[in-house]
């Protein structure tokens, strides 16, 4: 996540070289020690996560539930995963869908971004990863906490902050308040999950499309 959040710096046309230096520097800080200490186990960790199923709180899971394509929930790979028609396909599509969402966000960051808009597109990139991923645990929402309030100014800031706070509240309603209902596919668990995930989709769209609250000053 720290490396992904620095992509807007790398996409900044004014300081791309420094942005890429920060991006690859953070990648090295996190991955080189793990590679040196873990060796083969480090590579196996990627295969482990690639083999995981669709976690019960993910966006694709909430869609499958509403379509009636979830037959049950099982505990595997240290998480609760959904089973049923479409679950395997949703898992296979996770990587390309995530890639498309990240590319769309990076395009907006390149076209409209700048140093002042770094928090905005950092939050949007993290959201893109969350929306496409097979796993969307409650703690993932915390990644957005230092970024969303800084992502805009004026009325746009109020809009994105209100949507984010609503998503945070519904996250607590999904877990832990109604988690048992969700695992049992019993109302209001699936409905709360769908509402939370729709708010995250809305937040991502707002971060990409809302105008800045104040124009960025440019040198004469």
Domain count, the chain: 1
Residues 6+ apart with CB under 8 A from 38: 45
Alpha-carbon span 92 to 51, nearest angstrom: 10
pLDDT digits (tens, 9 = 90+) for 46-66: 888 889 999 999 999 999 999
Alpha-carbon span 48 to 46, nearest angstrom: 5
pLDDT at 28 > cutoff 70: yes
| pLDDT, position 216 | 45
In-domain check, residue 117: yes
pLDDT at 25 > cutoff 70: yes
In-domain check, residue 219: no
In-domain check, residue 25: no
Dihedral (CA of 106, 112, 116, 119) sign: negative
Alpha-carbon span 66 to 202, nearest angstrom: 18
Domain around 181: 54-209
In-domain check, residue 167: yes
In-domain check, residue 86: yes
Q: Is the peptide bond before 40 cis (omega within 30 degrees of 0)?
A: no
Average pLDDT on 103-116 reads 86
In-domain check, residue 34: no
In-domain check, residue 42: no
CB 22 within 8 A of CB 118: no
In-domain check, residue 75: yes
The closest of 114, 137, 5 to 58, measured between CA atoms, is 137
| pLDDT, position 190 | 97
| pLDDT, position 14 | 66
Average pLDDT on 177-194 reads 97
């Amino acid at each position: 996540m720290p490396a992904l959040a620095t992509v807007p710096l790398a996409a900044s046309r004014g300081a791309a070289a420094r942005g890429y230096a920060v991006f690859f520097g953070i990648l090295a800080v996190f991955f080189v020690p793990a590679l040196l200490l873990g060796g083969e186990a480090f590579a196996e960790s990627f295969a482990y996560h690639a083999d995981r199923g669709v976690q019960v709180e993910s966006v694709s899971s909430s869609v499958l539930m509403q379509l009636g394509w979830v037959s049950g929930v099982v505990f595997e790979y240290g998480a609760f995963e959904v089973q049923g028609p479409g679950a395997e396909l949703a898992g296979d599509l996770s990587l390309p869908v995530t890639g498309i969402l990240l590319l769309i966000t990076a395009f907006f960051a390149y076209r409209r971004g700048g140093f002042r808009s770094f928090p905005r597109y950092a939050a949007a990139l993290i959201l893109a990863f969350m929306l496409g991923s097979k796993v969307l645990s409650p703690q993932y929402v915390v990644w957005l906490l230092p970024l969303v309030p800084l992502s805009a100014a004026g009325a746009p800031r109020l809009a994105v902050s209100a949507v984010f706070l609503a998503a945070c509240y519904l996250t607590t309603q999904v877990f832990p308040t109604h988690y048992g209902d969700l695992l049992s596919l019993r109302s209001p668990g699936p409905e709360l999950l769908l509402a939370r995930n729709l708010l995250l989709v809305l937040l991502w769209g707002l971060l990409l499309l809302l105008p800045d609250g104040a124009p960025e000053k440019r040198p004469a």
